[in-house]
Amino acid sequence: MKYAKLMLGTLVAIAAAGAMPTPEQIRVAERVVGELMGDDQAALKSGRKTRAEVAGSAMALVGAAESNAEKLVLMKGAYSLYVRAGEFDKAVETLRSLRTTIPDIPPSYMVKIIEDSFRGTPRRDDARLTRILDATRTLARYSSEVAELERALRKTPGDQTLRRSLAEHHACLGKWDLALENFAAVEGRAGEIAKAERDGSVDAAAAADFWWSYASGKTKELEKCLRAHAAEYYEKAIISGTITDLNKLLAERRIAETKKNDDLYVVSRDEPVITAWDVASNAKYKFNYRLDDKGNATLIGSPCVSPKPEGVLVVPDKIDGHTVTKIDNMAFRGCNKMTRIVLPAHLEGIQNHWCGMSNPGAIFDGCFALKSIEIAEGNQRYTSEKGVLYTKNKKCLIVYPKTRSEITLARETTEVGWGAFNSCTFKTAKIPDAIGSIGYWAFRDCQNLEIVEFPKSTKWIGAYIFESSLKMKKVVFHGDAPVAYARRTRGRENLFHSSSKNIVVEVKKGSKGWQSKDSAELPERWPTVGSVSRPIRYIQ
């Protein structure tokens, strides 16, 4: 755990992935986040930062947090700030990220977050936020009714009408495991299909037809959920070849219907999210994507693929006939058993997930077993060499494999991109000669990293490069002091943000630029503004 290790040992018990944290966990997380965001809040009050900038800082910290409570507090605060700043696109994206990160969050809690953000602000005129609030209230109502139905069933467990109603409510809430469990206890065709689904013996085409027909005459919300479930089976039936001719055309039309805007679940996404099975993997994996205005697919989600891949993953060049041209930079987050990945030939970019921050290296955050990153032949934007991903001309490193014990780059490389060594497992990192710039978050979350050496050629370093690398002991600069970029008024201490407090900075004697602004004498500590400084030691 990142911040808990730094500040509070009481957050040892991390909630299960996707689980809603307890009120006590949230209270503890609020204290942690409050202290971490103190400088940003002060900058907001003084006018040195805008609400949107502070929200961006909060979202940048989410990637370093492991407990759901910390993520919840950070994203809740960021969402409110975005609304008050009138940044509605980012507000919707933040809500979607929150639902993706904590799918068990109660709809009633989401309603409170949205309603609270409207209080005291005139910024209520965004149609999406109004639609999201209405949809979330509907979900909250269904959730409340589920509790009432469960209480009634405990009194009369054999009541088929109550059981069917409970199953339908769970379906509306997207909880298909519970929906199928209750449908399986219902007599008739619904029970037969549900039992077959649960034991894996269901005929895809038959299941699709049944749920599509079952949806007729139901409420608007239930119809959408049932038909989305049916569409998944239609896709499987088409891929497996069990449905052909006119039946296939009808299935494709029905699938297209489910890809329209879904107001009920817009709380977790501002565009339709489409799920497709990967044909090349024999329907082993499902990919989530959305379409751009040209009809091309962007893989989205955290991660975008389910189940999480083990071993080799080949990302398809096309999904449902749509060319995959972009991938969200959180798309493979936490795929810790994936050892090799092949990216598609038409990939044009790894897009920003939050706040316009170009951090492509985050795409494999937490992929600690990744040995090789490759790209299909013919790609015009990227290239791979010995399992390392670069820009086409190899001048910039995009992402480095996580399991390597040392850094070896192409001779053409002069730049290290944002997050390029994110989650790498080496202990010592010696940056090769000729590297002139190191991007933001370059060594973020490197759990074993202890020593980093920069060559004379390094002239520019982005902020937060050692964030959450808690075992760091030493940083060595062999040349003059690089420009250590930090946003706004914050100083060079941003290099060590949320990293070990015990780092020693070693500087070659005779190098330039290390003295303080108003003195020719060399400083004894790394320059800081409002945070823990690091001692500077001079070496031959």
Average of per-residue pLDDT values in the chain: 80
Last residue within a domain, chosen from 110, 125, 140: 125
Query: Structural domain of residue 392, as residue ranges?
Result: 294-539
Banded model confidence at residue 537, pLDDT cuts 50, 70, 90: low
pTM for this predicted structure:
0.52
- For 388-416, the DSSP string reads EEEETTSSEEEE--SS-SS----TT--EE
Residue 273 lies in a domain: no
pLDDT at 164 over 70: yes
Residue 13 has pLDDT above 60, yes or no: no
To which residue do tokens 């679940």 refer? Answer: 265
Per-residue pLDDT at 358: 58
Query: What number is the average pLDDT over the span 510-521?
Result: 63
Vertex 358, ends 379 and 66: CA angle to 5°?
A: 110
Spatial distance between the Cα atoms of 410 and 87, rounded to a whole number of angstroms: 41
Has residue 134 been placed in a domain? no
Q: Is residue 276 part of a domain?
A: no
Residue 458 included in any domain: yes
Q: What is the mean pLDDT of residues 462-479?
A: 85
Task: Please report, to the nearest 10 degrees, the dihedral formed by the alpha carbons of residues 192, 197, 200, 205 taken in order.
Answer: 90
* Structural domains counted in the chain: 3
Single-letter amino acid code for the residue at 495: L
- Provide the CATH number for the domain around residue 450: 3.80.10.10
**Is pLDDT of 525 > 70?**
no
Which range (262-266, 432-436, 442-446, 458-462) has the least confidence? 262-266
**Same structural domain, 334 and 446:** yes
Is the domain of 41 the same as that of 173? no
Residue 315 domain flag: yes
pLDDT over 70 (residue 220): yes
pLDDT tens per residue across span 343-399: 999 999 887 644 334 578 889 988 999 999 999 888 999 999 999 999 999 999 999
Is residue 138 assigned to a domain?
no
Q: Do residues 354 and 500 both lie within one domain?
A: yes
Determine the pLDDT at residue 1: 33
Query: Does 390 share its domain with 491?
Result: yes
Lowest mean pLDDT among 61-65, 208-212, 333-337: 61-65
pLDDT of residue 407: 94
Closest CA to 83 of 133, 117, 49: 117
Query: What pLDDT is recorded for position 200?
Result: 78
Of all residues in the chain, the percent with pLDDT exceeding 70 is: 81
- Looking at the fold, whether 309 and 453 belong to one and the same domain comes out as yes
pLDDT of residue 489: 34
How far apart are alpha carbons 437 and 452 in whole angstroms?
14
- Residue 111 sits in the same domain as residue 164: no
pLDDT tops 70 at residue 311:
yes
Of the two residues 158 and 124, the one the predictor is more confident about is 158
Asked if residue 423 and residue 352 are part of one domain, the reply reads: yes
Structure tokens at 224: 């959408």
The pLDDT of residue 516 is 54
Residue 307: φ, ψ to 5°: -65, 170
**Are residue 353 and residue 440 in the same domain, yes or no?**
yes
Each residue of 359-371: pLDDT tens digit?
Answer: 788 899 889 999 9
Q: Is the pLDDT of residue 337 over 60?
A: yes
Residue 62 pLDDT: 80
Q: With respect to residue 256, please indicate whether it lies within any of the assigned structural domains.
A: yes
Please provide the DSSP assignment of 244-301 as one string. Answer: -HHHHHHHHHHHHHHTS--GGGGGG-SS--EEEE-GGGTT--EEEEEE-TTS-EEE-S
d(CA 192, CA 190): 5
Task: For residue 147, tell me if it sits in a domain.
Answer: no
Amino acid letter, 472 = M
Return the pLDDT at 518. 52
- 509 with 441, same domain: the answer is yes
Q: What's the average model confidence in pLDDT over 172-192?
A: 88
Please check whether residues 447 and 508 belong to one and the same domain. yes
379 and 458 both lie in a single domain = yes
* DSSP conformation letters of 253-264: HHHHHHTS--GG
At which of 106, 125, 144 does a domain end? Answer: 125
Domain-terminating residue out of 266, 286, 307:
266
What is the phi/psi pair of residue 533, to 5°?
-85, 165
Res 260: pLDDT: 55
DSSP readout, 188-237?
A: SHHHHHHHHHHHT---HHHHHHHHHHHTTTS-HHHHHHHHHHHHHHHHHH
36 pLDDT band (50/70/90 cuts)? confident
Does one domain contain both 249 and 386? no
d(CA 250, CA 248): 5
